[in-house]
Amino acid sequence: ETYRFLINNATFEALIEIVKKDAETGKIIPAAGIGFKVRNTDTGEYIVQHINYPTPVDIDTYYTDVTGKLMMPEKLPYGNYEIIEQCTAYGYVLDSAPIAFKVDGSKTVVTVEKHNMPQKGIVNISKSGEVFFSAVESDGVYSFVFADKGLAGAVYEITAAEDIITPDGTLRYAKGTVVDTVTTDENGNAASKPLYLGKYTVRET
């Protein structure tokens, strides 16, 4: 007696979704135009996919839409991969460190998250003024010489001039909030802590 069996060796495939998130809040950054390349780490080759609509084109860099997400047009087969960020959203630091993922048949859609730190800046303040430097005698007449020098001990408040909101929608500082207070050093210089991008005012107290 002969027995017949149908053996179906299906190839594991999955759609790949890439999501952009703020590294501090974990919220999605709803920004279009964030670009990624995808590399097969088993072969070392970058993934190039083809679409026919509206015109035939090969794609080797994949970009998010206004939701901060993207879905690659074609499925990827079983294997190990990584995404490499090519460009990032305004207000965030580009991070080209690869993020690894795999297609192993456990999911039909593999979601890969890329977290980026928001950009920050430092406010530098310099305080100077004329201070007594020396006395010069000429024919019994003394003239006092003053020189411009950094002044220590000046205190400044740095205040948010507007609501400071990062692109993930998080309110970092409300308008009018004093975000830092600094004091000049012996050279007349002071620097704020790192601040989120936005408009601030500086006032000497």
Higher pLDDT, 15 or 129: 15
CA dist., res. 15 & res. 110, Å (int): 6
Residues 86/114, Cβ–Cβ less than 8 Å: no
- The predicted model gives 172-179 an average pLDDT of 98
Q: Which among 114, 95, 85 is positioned nearest to 22, based on CA atoms?
A: 114
High-pLDDT (> 90) share of the chain, %: 80
CA dist., res. 22 & res. 197, Å (int): 14
Q: Is the pLDDT confidence value at 8 over 90?
A: no
Q: Is the pLDDT confidence value at 131 over 60?
A: yes
CA dist., res. 148 & res. 75, Å (int): 68
Cis amide prior to 54 (ω within 30 degrees) = yes
Q: Is the pLDDT confidence value at 107 over 60?
A: yes
Q: Is the pLDDT confidence value at 7 over 60?
A: no
Averaged confidence pLDDT in the chain: 92
Query: What CATH code is assigned to 13-116?
Result: 2.60.40.10
Domain ranges of the chain: 13-116, 121-204
Q: Is the pLDDT confidence value at 2 over 90?
A: no
> How confident is the model over 26-59, as pLDDT tens digits?
999 999 999 999 999 999 999 999 998 889 999 9
**Could you tell me which residues come within 8 angstroms of residue 130 by beta carbon, excluding any fewer than 6 positions away?**
146, 147, 148, 149
Res 9: pLDDT: 54
Other C-beta atoms lying within 10 Å of the C-beta of residue 177: 14
